[in-house]
């Protein structure tokens, strides 16, 4: 099944920001486009707004004047749904209410031809439930664009329970013909991105609720150590706290209140207070004119240790060994591989976050996972009240000698980046095992949909098969609520290779 022919009209119902964006994408691709809105005058206003955006594209040399004029000629406001009768595709972008969408598609089904593809841009409702109102749900599909639709490349092509393969394929190929990067997924709460991205927000909020670190410090660690483009607090301020929390609640409810998707009480209080982020002038941060942005906690300068003794290969942190030598710190290697840690001159230990807590051991400081230890500009350390000041000082000095800012946080298992990545990896493996999407499409979706530095499966390959499972298993022992219980899919992934490698 090929993409919809460019000569065939495409309709967009709902002319808000997302509807206008989708219409612009189809228009620039070459289709005649019809705009419809139930509120009189809105379709005409939307057409004018799209025309103004086309003018800006011309000013930026992204579209020729002739191309703009031709696109404007193809754009038509529709006075009634009956004006969409000859459209080959109708994309809905109206209010996120199931009854409203179902009623709209019932009415559309009475108007359009039998071979017209019907699509919803819903981000939180069930595609299956919306399509269930149709006499022919086989031609119904989800086309979830990301805002702003003209700029962001990702489109999640969602197959409902009754969606025909030919309809899904046609929608997929059409999105690709429009210059987008489509990914195919089954109709599951949150689809790909909003399902698998939940831990990025949830774990940051959990560390904050545990009073282990403030928002500015957590954001700085996620950016400067984890390689994420934005931290969870600043990103949700940009998205809108009310919007982000609404998506979280929707996914949580749709999964029958699965503890893995439990919303944050701290975020709930923020929303209740009216602090919705940038759009309200205050969220986790204050955006009033002249307001000072809080600085992340950064440790004072300390002297580096003269030497460290390394036990094991440090796993995902192995790159630290040549870095230490380059910084002039003598590295002594223990021939007995009885761990993956560094022993500091005072006898204290420095270990990569593994889901355990410092208070469980004698004189241990944990350090967080980094996307790239060479490029990271900040590293987080965690210690308990029982950790000696000498051990913490030596640990701080060690990372400062590598050119890193150091943030000391509370004694939380899995720290910040490590627990976040482990949970994202787990949800991704679980999604593949349940037929939601392929590994490739999930990695693509997370890279393009939320700008993660790596897709979950690329993280998994870098960190090793057992890394995420072992960390979550340790976290689960310390928090047996089920929030951190590794999925069966991750368990199988972690141990399948171990079994093969142990076979003579």
The number of angstroms, rounded, from the C-alpha of 490 to the middle of its chain's C-alpha atoms is: 19
Contact 46, 120 (CB under 8 A): no
Mean pLDDT score across all residues of the chain: 95
Locate 101 and state its tokens.
């969408």
Span 127-145, pLDDT tens digits: 999 999 999 999 999 999 9
For residues 247-276, average pLDDT: 96
Indicate the pLDDT class of residue 337, thresholds 50, 70 and 90. Answer: low
Locate 195 and state its tokens.
């399902």
Task: Report the C-alpha gap between 382 and 450 in whole angstroms.
Answer: 28
pLDDT of the residue at 312: 84
Span 25-62, pLDDT tens digits: 999 999 999 999 999 999 999 999 999 999 999 999 99
For residues 364-390, average pLDDT: 97
Choosing from 124, 167, 194, 407, which is the catalytic residue?
Answer: 194
Residue 339: pLDDT over 80: no
Locate 452 and state its tokens.
């993660």
Residue with tokens 């749900």: 137
Sequence-ordered list of residues with C-beta below 8 angstroms from that of 173, at least 6 positions apart, any chain = 1, 2, 3
Residue 191: pLDDT over 60: yes
User: How many C-beta atoms surround the C-beta of residue 278 within 10 A?
Assistant: 15
Locate 7 and state its tokens.
């000569």
pLDDT of the residue at 30: 96
How many CA atoms within 13 Å lie on the side-chain side of 78?
25
E strands, 60-212, are: 75-77, 89-92, 117-120, 140-145, 154-159, 181-186
pLDDT of the residue at 121: 97
Contact 342, 309 (CB under 8 A): yes
User: How many C-beta atoms surround the C-beta of residue 477 within 10 A?
Assistant: 13
Indicate the pLDDT class of residue 476, thresholds 50, 70 and 90. Answer: very high
Residue 340: pLDDT over 90: no
Percent over 90 (pLDDT), the chain = 94
pLDDT of the residue at 139: 97
Task: Report the C-alpha gap between 406 and 193 in whole angstroms.
Answer: 31
Locate 86 and state its tokens.
């000859």
pLDDT of the residue at 301: 97
Q: Using alpha carbons only, what angle is made at residue 217 by residues 212 and 221, rounded to the nearest 5 degrees? A: 105
350: exposed, middle or buried (Cβ count in 10 Å: 0-12, 13-18, 19+): buried
Contact 488, 433 (CB under 8 A): yes
Helix (H, G, I), strand (E, B) or coil at 472: helix
Choosing from 123, 159, 244, 407, which is the catalytic residue?
Answer: 123
Residue 437: pLDDT over 60: yes
Sequence-ordered list of residues with C-beta below 8 angstroms from that of 192, at least 6 positions apart, any chain = 156, 183, 185, 431, 436, 437, 441, 442, 445, 446, 449
Backbone angles phi, psi at 66, to 5 degrees: -65, -40
Lowest mean pLDDT across 159-168, 195-204, 308-317: 308-317
Choosing from 109, 156, 245, 394, which is the catalytic residue?
Answer: 156
For residues 165-191, average pLDDT: 97
pLDDT of the residue at 503: 41
Contact 29, 175 (CB under 8 A): no
Residue 500: pLDDT over 60: no
For residues 150-164, average pLDDT: 97
pLDDT of the residue at 496: 81
Sequence-ordered list of residues with C-beta below 8 angstroms from that of 414, at least 6 positions apart, any chain = 203, 353, 354, 355, 422, 471, 474, 475, 484
DSSP conformational letter for 43: H
Residue with tokens 């929707």: 250
For residues 109-128, average pLDDT: 96
Choosing from 31, 144, 276, 429, which is the catalytic residue?
Answer: 144
Task: Report the C-alpha gap between 12 and 91 in whole angstroms.
Answer: 5
Can 144 be counted among the known catalytic residues? yes
pLDDT of the residue at 502: 42
Can 123 be counted among the known catalytic residues? yes
Can 194 be counted among the known catalytic residues? yes
Contact 236, 438 (CB under 8 A): no
The number of angstroms, rounded, from the C-alpha of 139 to the middle of its chain's C-alpha atoms is: 29
Residue 249: pLDDT over 60: yes
């Amino acid at each position: 099944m090929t993409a919809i022919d460019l000569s065939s009209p495409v309709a967009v119902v709902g002319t808000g920001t997302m509807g206008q964006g989708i219409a612009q994408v189809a228009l620039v691709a070459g289709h005649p486009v019809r705009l419809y809105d139930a509120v009189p005058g809105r379709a005409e206003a939307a057409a004018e707004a799209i025309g103004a955006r086309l003018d800006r594209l011309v000013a930026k040399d992204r579209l020729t004047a002739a191309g703009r004029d031709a696109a404007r000629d193809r754009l038509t406001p529709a006075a009634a749904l009956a004006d969409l009768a000859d459209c080959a595709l109708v994309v809905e972008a109206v209010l996120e209410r199931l009854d409203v969408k179902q009623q709209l598609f019932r009415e559309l089904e009475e108007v359009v031809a039998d071979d017209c593809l019907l699509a919803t841009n819903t981000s939180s409702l069930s595609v299956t439930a919306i399509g269930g109102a149709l006499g022919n749900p086989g031609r119904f599909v989800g086309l979830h664009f990301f805002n702003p639709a003209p700029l962001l490349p990702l489109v999640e092509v969602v197959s409902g329970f009754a969606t025909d393969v030919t309809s899904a394929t046609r929608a997929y190929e059409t999105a690709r013909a429009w210059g987008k990067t489509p990914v195919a997924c089954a109709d599951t709460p949150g689809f790909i991105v909003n399902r698998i991205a939940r831990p990025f927000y949830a774990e940051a909020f959990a560390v904050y609720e545990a009073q282990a670190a403030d928002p500015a410090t957590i954001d700085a660690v996620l950016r400067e150590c984890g390689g994420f483009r934005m931290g969870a607090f600043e990103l949700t301020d940009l998205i809108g706290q009310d919007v982000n929390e609404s998506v979280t609640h929707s996914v949580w409810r749709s999964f029958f209140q699965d503890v893995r998707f439990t919303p944050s009480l701290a975020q709930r209080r923020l929303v209740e207070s009216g602090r919705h982020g940038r759009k309200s002038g205050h969220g986790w941060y204050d955006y009033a004119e002249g307001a000072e942005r809080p600085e992340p906690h950064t440790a004072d300068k300390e002297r580096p240790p003269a030497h460290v003794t390394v036990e094991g290969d440090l796993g995902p942190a192995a790159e630290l060994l040549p870095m230490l030598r380059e910084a002039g710190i003598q590295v002594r290697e223990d021939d007995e591989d009885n761990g993956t840690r560094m022993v500091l001159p005072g006898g204290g230990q420095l270990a990569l976050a593994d889901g355990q807590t410092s208070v469980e051991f004698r004189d241990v400081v944990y350090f967080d996972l980094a996307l790239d230890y060479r490029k990271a500009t900040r590293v987080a350390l965690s210690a308990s009240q029982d950790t000696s000041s000498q051990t913490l000082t030596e640990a701080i000095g060690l990372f400062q000698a590598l050119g890193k800012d150091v943030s000391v946080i509370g004694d939380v298992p899995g720290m910040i980046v490590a627990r976040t990545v482990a949970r994202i990896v787990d949800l991704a493996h679980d999604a593949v095992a349940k037929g939601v999407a392929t590994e490739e499409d999930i990695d693509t979706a997370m890279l393009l949909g939320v700008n993660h530095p790596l897709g979950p499966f690329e993280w998994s390959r870098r960190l090793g098969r057992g890394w995420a499972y072992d960390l979550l298993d340790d976290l689960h022992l310390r928090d047996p609520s089920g929030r951190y219980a590794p999925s069966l899919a991750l368990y199988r992934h972690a141990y399948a290779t171990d079994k093969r490698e142990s076979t003579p």
